[in-house]
Structure 1
């Protein structure tokens, strides 16, 4: 698009062009091959997730909308990885031209902003399900989730525009080409140094705050409120269970005392009456929270942790790059560390599909059955029937269901990939124990 001879160059960029740390023009085939394999793996992983969530689900939930948009962002990011593989193969020289340089950079920053926005939105969503269940049931829907995702994409595109505008290919003194920020564009010679410093600092600070610190603050606050609401709800449920148990005990005692002149057997408490009641109370107190899936919460937590670990080094080196404008001795640190931190950040979209899969406790069994059943358990929701447009889970196509049944017995014996919240009315054991007992008694009589 542009080169260093057509416009003025910022002092920091000029230093990188004149004194390159990486003077090795050879090609490390091992690094190129490994990077190429990782690139292909990331593209295939995210393509499979998109295929399952986009085409294999008959019934969507709010959770599936979140994961679908996150996977779409990761898929776009992994599509640019082969371009970086070509850069490594070309002895660290960008030979693909200005348009692809701009496109690769824009997709990279778009993925960064979209991922941060969606993870913050998911955390708020899970928090509101517990802290404001009535509000969530009335306002939480698939259409609302799509609107939030559209807002996130627009917000990310607006923040990506400066990087699209100031990205260019410049030529080094040794003849190699560098795809990097060119903040000297659209600047006059008299204001060059000031414009470079302002633009460099503004972009570095804004992306660190908007795409890293602010989302992490929102996520941390959501998880704190989430934990407080859960503890309060469990405390209220425990108190109500204790009061109910005490009331039942008093009722049984009064009933026994109101029957005089009875034999010893009738005066003895009947364990068949009291035991199921107390058992059902204990089971109901341990029930999963409505609208929550433990597997989905586990997946979100792992994705957030991976996001923070992969992107933290990149943002640190971006701030060091701003400081290098005032302390030139830090330019070497930026030249060495920033490319490595960028590569580490690209691991995030590659690792996310792996986290989706391994959030399933029965991963090895589910992977033999189908990818559809794997994602079914991941994005299902329970307890909030009207909220999310499918609170009872996801329905996969009938053909896949038949295939799953033929491979592993009936579906009830094989637990959901990440667990399904129990029914809001009855404990799971009460719905299956009676038919088993009745059938056995009939066979014994015959």
Structure 2
């Protein structure tokens, strides 16, 4: 995912002449070549696993099961990840052709916009799921009375609209142009100048837009949702520890909570950290070879790691905590269907005070 106008790791030639007898020798050509091969392999794996895994989730939640709040959440999450992984072959082609984009300007814009849409939609859907689970634990009776497929669908629609708004700048700024070293090679890049002419007069505007886009993606695409997710599960853990009845049954819950937080953080934190490093490097007026080397290695690796999240989500939210010994004889689709089922207790409210603890337990188990 190329988020800047001149990605450092796109310089994959051994030398460039400026026409005056001076030739720049790229000291990282071998490293860039190895990283490109690694990235191609990861993208191909993410495509296969992501399309199959998310496609199966879409099939089960969208066509095989009765619509519930849980199926609405997971269906939207799977759609976001599926759209992204389905577009990965274009990125694979771009890399395989040595950063030549053969699909035209519109597809250049659309591909990056869909990538950004996945970032925001999937992260905010995960945040919504976390908030819903927190509410179900803290106010179980209220949650059962107010949970509905219609409300969940409206919330999901709001997430998609927000994600589309946050992604729309990429459709504006994304552009294609001949490469500096070879006019036969067409690059797909972020043209923050919105012009074919790039000089010092637009430098400050380009830097401002680049900073705004990067900071927005870091804050709204990671810091805010991650803070909400961690806060929600901190409340859940605190509530479980206070309720001894629930805590005795919470072993699987803690595993899922740990998996959600750790996976989310490991997949996205490195990407956003290197986005900050790259931003500092781009706006710094002096050359820093050590920082350039770090970015050369880090950007492709962290980008690939972030993309892997799209094929991990089906495993994370379907299989973590499931008893495989009891389900090993079941088919893949049956396992998915069992994972998304909600307890019958969610459809009604217990009026008997003596059943409150049991009702809360069933509600918690279905949410977590």
| TM-score (norm: length of structure 1) | 0.65
1:196 aligned residue: 206
1:99 aligned residue: 106
CA spacing shift, 1:114–1:50, aligned 2, 3 Å: same
Match of 1:128 among 132, 135, 154: 135
Match of 1:350 among 304, 311, 322: 311
- Does the CA contact (< 8 Å) of 2:319 and 2:339 recur in 1? no
The 5 A counterparts of 1:257-296 are: none
- Does the CA contact (< 8 Å) of 1:39 and 1:78 recur in 2? yes
Cα offset, 1:355, TM superposition = 2.4
Answer with 1 or 2: which has the greater Rg.
1
Q: Distance in 2 between matches of 1:368 and 1:360?
A: 17
Q: Distance in 2 between matches of 1:68 and 1:114?
A: 12
- Does the CA contact (< 8 Å) of 2:137 and 2:236 recur in 1? yes
1:341 aligned residue: 302
Check if 1:51 corresponds to 2:59: yes
CA spacing shift, 1:188–1:156, aligned 2, 3 Å: same
Q: Distance in 1 between matches of 2:360 and 2:114?
A: 47
Q: Distance in 2 between matches of 1:163 and 1:94?
A: 17
Task: Give the aligned CA root-mean-square deviation in angstroms.
Answer: 3.5
Q: Distance in 2 between matches of 1:117 and 1:316?
A: 19
CA spacing shift, 1:387–1:154, aligned 2, 3 Å: farther
The 5 A counterparts of 1:110-259 are: 110-175=117-182, 176-185=185-194, 191-234=201-244
1:441 aligned residue: none
Cα offset, 1:125, TM superposition = 0.8
SS in 2 for 1:160: helix
After superposition, the C-alpha distances for 1:278-331 in whole angstroms (9 at most, x for unaligned) are xxxxxxx77858xxxx76775465244322211112111211222121244245
SS in 2 for 1:385: helix
Q: Which runs of 5+ in 1 are unaligned?
A: 1-8, 238-284, 389-421, 428-446
Q: Distance in 2 between matches of 1:203 and 1:31?
A: 24
1:326 aligned residue: 284
SS in 2 for 1:180: strand
Cα offset, 1:16, TM superposition = 6.8
Q: Distance in 1 between matches of 2:172 and 2:360?
A: 57
- Does the CA contact (< 8 Å) of 2:192 and 2:206 recur in 1? yes
After superposition, the C-alpha distances for 1:343-379 in whole angstroms (9 at most, x for unaligned) are 2211111122232443253336535422333123322
The 5 A counterparts of 1:57-68 are: 57=65, 59-68=66-75
